[in-house]
Protein backbone atom coordinates (compact mmCIF):
# COMPACT_ATOMS: atom_id res chain seq x y z
CA UNK A 1 0.00 0.00 0.00
CA UNK A 2 1.32 3.39 -0.96
CA UNK A 3 -0.77 5.46 1.47
CA UNK A 4 0.30 5.30 5.11
CA UNK A 5 -1.94 6.14 8.02
CA UNK A 6 -1.01 9.31 9.93
CA UNK A 7 -1.63 9.34 13.66
CA UNK A 8 -4.14 11.85 14.99
CA UNK A 9 -3.91 12.58 18.73
CA UNK A 10 -6.72 11.92 21.20
CA UNK A 11 -7.45 15.65 21.14
CA UNK A 12 -7.92 15.35 17.35
CA UNK A 13 -4.77 17.29 16.47
CA UNK A 14 -2.69 16.28 13.46
CA UNK A 15 1.00 16.94 14.04
CA UNK A 16 3.61 16.33 11.35
CA UNK A 17 7.34 16.96 11.26
CA UNK A 18 7.82 18.43 7.80
CA UNK A 19 11.51 17.52 7.88
CA UNK A 20 10.56 13.83 7.94
CA UNK A 21 8.00 14.01 5.10
CA UNK A 22 8.86 12.99 1.53
CA UNK A 23 9.96 15.87 -0.73
CA UNK A 24 6.63 15.75 -2.57
CA UNK A 25 3.59 14.20 -0.90
CA UNK A 26 -0.16 14.34 -0.45
CA UNK A 27 -2.16 14.19 2.79
CA UNK A 28 -5.79 13.12 2.51
CA UNK A 29 -8.15 13.66 5.45
CA UNK A 30 -11.62 12.13 5.60
CA UNK A 31 -13.93 11.18 8.49
CA UNK A 32 -11.32 11.64 11.22
CA UNK A 33 -8.65 9.59 9.40
CA UNK A 34 -5.54 10.95 7.71
CA UNK A 35 -3.29 9.20 5.21
CA UNK A 36 -0.03 10.33 3.65
CA UNK A 37 1.38 9.23 0.32
CA UNK A 38 4.61 10.12 -1.47
CA UNK A 39 4.06 11.43 -4.98
CA UNK A 40 6.03 9.70 -7.75
CA UNK A 41 8.25 11.75 -10.06
CA UNK A 42 6.09 11.19 -13.16
CA UNK A 43 2.49 10.25 -12.49
CA UNK A 44 -1.11 11.31 -12.32
CA UNK A 45 -2.76 10.97 -8.93
CA UNK A 46 -6.55 10.90 -8.66
CA UNK A 47 -8.59 11.10 -5.49
CA UNK A 48 -12.00 9.52 -6.01
CA UNK A 49 -14.91 10.43 -3.77
CA UNK A 50 -18.47 9.22 -3.30
CA UNK A 51 -21.11 11.05 -1.26
CA UNK A 52 -18.48 13.46 0.05
CA UNK A 53 -16.18 10.70 1.31
CA UNK A 54 -12.80 9.62 -0.05
CA UNK A 55 -13.14 6.14 -1.53
CA UNK A 56 -9.92 5.60 -3.46
CA UNK A 57 -6.58 7.19 -4.35
CA UNK A 58 -5.23 6.05 -7.73
CA UNK A 59 -1.64 6.50 -8.89
CA UNK A 60 -1.06 6.22 -12.65
CA UNK A 61 2.73 6.18 -13.00
CA UNK A 62 4.83 6.71 -16.07
CA UNK A 63 8.48 6.91 -16.96
CA UNK A 64 10.41 9.54 -18.95
CA UNK A 65 11.84 8.15 -22.18
pLDDT tens digit string along 29-60?
999 899 999 998 888 999 999 999 999 999 89
Contact 60, 48 (CB under 8 A): no
DSSP state of 40: P
* Among 43, 50, 51, residue whose Cα is nearest residue 26: 43
Q: How confident is the model at residue 64 (pLDDT cuts 50, 70, 90)?
A: confident
Q: What's the rounded Cα separation, in Å, for the pair 9 and 2?
A: 22
Exposure of 52 in the CB half-sphere (CA atoms within 13 A)? 1
- At 41 the pLDDT is 84
- At 55 the pLDDT is 95
Q: How confident is the model at residue 1 (pLDDT cuts 50, 70, 90)?
A: low
Amino acid sequence: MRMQEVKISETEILELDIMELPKSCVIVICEGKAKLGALPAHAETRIKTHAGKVKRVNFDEGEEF
